[in-house]
Each structure stands twice: as structure tokens, then as C-alpha cells.
Amino acid sequence: MRIAFLAAPEGVEQVELTEPWRAVTATGDTPRLVSTTPGSIRAFHHLDKGDSFPVDQVVADASVEEYGALVLPGGLANPDALRMDAEAVAFVKGFFAAGKPVAAICHAPWTLIEADVLSGRTLTSWPSLRTDISNAGGTWVDEQVKVCTGGPNTLITSRKPDDLKAFCEAFTAEFAKSGH
């Protein structure tokens, strides 16, 4: 199964990209980096520049049908940039409409808020998003990982890099169950 990893050209938290990427690869699935521009993206280690990663596909050319699931890595700037890009928001919204699983960590739920897909959903995130999630109709919980099946698809969320092991275990298990 092909798994889309959506990231802006700059600002993704590197470990929140690389650890889930490794987890997907370890299951035998194929991760693909989707971004708003071609070329490469620049990751960060919190506020310090990290490595560059090649973009496999531009979101304007991507379709939800090509992918079985979506991973939204965090970082402070990454989801803030994605939620300002109409094509990225539509791509995310498409996974919910298609009933395909979505995994999001840290600040990534900002993009989910913009896609207007959190009403009635229970999720976790970096703690500062709690009010934003509540205002978007979601219920925020302070848990290492939260799997929410109460909606059109399965939504797997986590709070921060320290939760990556549990996050990766949870979303790879849910992706395997999805059958997409």
C-alpha cells in the first residue's frame, strides 16, 4: 500500500517525518513524500535546520485514490503552512471523505482543523492546540496516542516526539486493518 506523507516545503519536525517513514517501510508499505512544491523539503530539529528530503509528488498532482492512508507529521511551521494551501487542505479532506485512515502528530491537527474534519472526533496533539481542537468541534485528550474510530475513517493522533514509538505502532496497526 502507498502511504502519503504530506509536508510543506519548510518546517516539518524531522523526527516526526523520519520515524513514521521508517515504520511504514518496515511494514512493507511504500511511503511517498507529497508537498505543495516540487524539489525537496527542509526539515527542522525544533527550531534548527535539519536535513532536506526529496519530494515524490506535488499535492496538486496527487489524488487520494493513489494512496491507502495519510500521515501528517508535525513541526510548528509545517501544518501552519499546509493549512494556508487550498490544495493541501482539499487533499487531507479527501482522505476523510474516502474513509481512509489518517495519522497526525504534534501540531499537525492544525491542518485537520482547517479541513473541517474534527467535529465529533476525539484526538490528542501538542497541548497548545487544545482550544483550537475544541473550537473545531473535537474533543481533546492528553494521551500518548489516541485512536478515534467514531467517524468516517480512523484518526490516529499523538502529542509529541516522545510519543513516536506508540504513535508508529498504533497507526501501522490501523493502516494494516484498513484494507485500502
So which residues are the catalytic ones? 106-107
Amino acid identity of residue 56, one-letter, is D
For residue 14, count CB atoms less than 10 angstroms from its CB and return exposed for 0-12, middle for 13-18, buried for 19 or more. Answer: buried
Exposure of 117 by Cβ count < 10 A (0-12 exposed, 13-18 middle, 19+ buried)?
A: buried
Task: State how far Cα 134 lies from the chain centre.
Answer: 19
Q: Classify residue 110 by its DSSP letter.
A: H
141 Rama sector, left if φ>0, alpha if ψ -120 to 50, beta otherwise: beta
The three cell numbers locating residue 144: 500518548
Alpha carbon separation from 81 to 10, 37, 87, 140 (Å, rounded): 8, 12, 12, 22
